[in-house]
Amino acid sequence: MENKTALIIGGSAGSLDVLIRVLPDIDINIQFPIVIVVHRKQGTDSILSDLLATKTTLRVKELEEKETILDGCIYVVPSDYHLLIEKDYTFSLDYSEKVNYSRPSIDVTFQSAADIYKDRLVCLLLSGSNADGVNGLIMVKKMGGKAWVQDPESAQVSYMPAQAILKANIDKVLKIEEMAGYINALTSY
């Protein structure tokens, strides 16, 4: 099977502003998908993907279950479902128990993606007030992928990225203005 690359971005409180600042600078020619897992209230799905769509010319959509994952597309996880990745590079949704009081849980998606993409995966954890995503980053590293976090100094809520730095072997700590550059460079990764 060909090796595909993916970027998964996880965030909670304070992460939306980061996405809004970073998306406009992401290269239209990226050769991998970007999947966004953010904690939020139920029933606000299209609002979030519509808002993010105004910040980039890349295609942004709320992902659908069993949808094939396409390069150059930005996918937003629907509220109140966990997102898993299948071996054939399709999405599965899951309504099982909350993890870290969260559904979607960032850990769940990071771990599932690590199982599929292995060393071709990059996960970026942004601002947030709980530790969801930290265990996911640990598994990403175990599978040879890359773990990036937002610089806690630049985060509206520093707890989540700070926990990740404390507990996982982080490859890069990024300021908001550095993120797009590193993401764009992934194309040749």
Partner 1 sequence: MPHLLSITDDEVEILINDVLDQYGYDFTGYSRASLKRRLVRIYALDKHVSFAEYRYKVINDPIYFKRFVEQITVNVTEMFRDPSFYKALRYKVLPNLGTYPFIRIWLAGCSTGEEAFSMAIVLKELGLLHKSLIYATDINPVVLEKAAEGMFPLSQMKQYSENYIASGGPKDFSSYYSANYAMAKFDPELRKKMIFSTHNLVSDHSFNEFQLILCRNVLIYFDRDLQFKVLQLFDNSLESLGYLALGTKETTDFSPISKNYKRLESEKIWRKTS
Residue 129, both tokens: 């007030």
Regarding 169 and contact with partner 1 (CB under 8 A), the answer is no
Question: What's the closest the beta carbon of residue 184 comes to partner 1, in angstroms?
Answer: 29
Taking a C-beta distance cutoff of 8 angstroms, is the pair 28, 183 a contact?
Answer: no
Which residue is associated with the tokens 């071996």? 87
Using CB under 8 A as the binding rule, whether residue 65 contacts partner 1 is answered as: yes
SS3 (DSSP) at 82: strand
Catalytic residue check, 17: no
Q: Is 39 a catalytic residue?
A: yes
Q: Does 94 bind partner 1 (CB under 8 A)?
A: yes
Cα separation, 184 vs 25, in Å, equals: 9
Q: Does residue 95 belong to the site contacting partner 1 (CB under 8 A)? A: yes
167 binds partner 1 per the rule CB under 8 A: no
Neighbour order of strands in the sheet with 34-38: 59-62, 73-76, 34-38, 6-11, 121-125, 146-150, 172-174
User: Could you confirm whether 132 is annotated as catalytic?
Assistant: yes
Residues that bind partner 1 (CB under 8 A): 64-66, 78, 81, 84-87, 92-97, 108, 111-112, 114-116, 135, 139, 142
User: Among all residues, which ones are annotated catalytic?
Assistant: 12, 39, 132
